[in-house]
Amino acid sequence: ETGVTQSPTHLIKTRGQQVTLRCSSQSGHNTVSWYQQALGQGPQFIFQYYREEENGRGNFPPRFSGLQFPNYSSELNVNALELDDSALYLCASSLGGRDEQFFGPGTRLTVL
Amino acid sequence: KQEVTQIPAALSVPEGENLVLNCSFTDSAIYNLQWFRQDPGKGLTSLLLIQSSQREQTSGRLNASLDKSSGRSTLYIAASQPGDSATYLCAVKAAGNKLTFGGGTRVLVKP
């Protein structure tokens, strides 16, 4: 059974640019959630996708958007990057919205 | 709005001592509570999941309790080892299917 994978591992962008982060869910999981973790803090919920539809959103602006594909892999897109977007971005997959979430290794985004 | 607090923020113990990590949450209407371990710069490893109907869960040297009415959970790690050094995070799941995390407790086990 393959676990949750994320790409890329690290990314450096400049303010104002756009970025796409990718996540492959654990086999058989149809729900993916994205979290942002700033240095020294706990992760903050961005949004969740269930069967390709957004299924909940945290307190993040619309420039944070996502997609889930028929194979349940997912993308997180961030437009007009700001310095405060520098963080570790984590995705987690689960069998359903209420089930245990399994996390990937994260993508470290640095915005200069 | 659900808020999760972990105290202390950091903890240092000698090897062999038992670890007690605390987590409190403000809204008792939760589906479950999960404890995670995070090594520096890495993702989250799930340690234990306690459903709202359960009082505790055990896995090896780890034991987690849940008191929903008082909004508290405690993670016990018996006979700590240097390899237990990491940040431990608790998170609750409630309406909206999102996990709400505490700020974590950074643990150092000294040989």
pLDDT at A1: 55
Q: What is the pLDDT of residues B34-66, one digit of tens each?
A: 999 999 988 999 999 999 999 999 999 999 999
Q: Rounded distance, CA A85 to CA A89, Å?
A: 10
Tokens of A79: 């437009």
A90 touches chain B (CB under 8 A): yes
Query: Average pLDDT, stretch B1-19?
Result: 95
Tokens of A69: 């594909």
Between chains, do B101 and A42 touch, taking CB under 8 Å as contact? Answer: yes
Give the A:B interface size as CB pairs under 8 Å.
62
Q: What is the pLDDT of residues B91-110, one digit of tens each?
A: 999 877 789 999 999 999 99
Q: Rounded distance, CA B34 to CA B51, Å?
A: 9
Q: Which of B41, B89, B96 sits opposite A42 (nearest CB)?
A: B89
Mutate to test the interface with A, among B97, B101, B105, B106 (most CBs of A within 10 A): B97
Between chains, do A42 and B42 touch, taking CB under 8 Å as contact? Answer: no
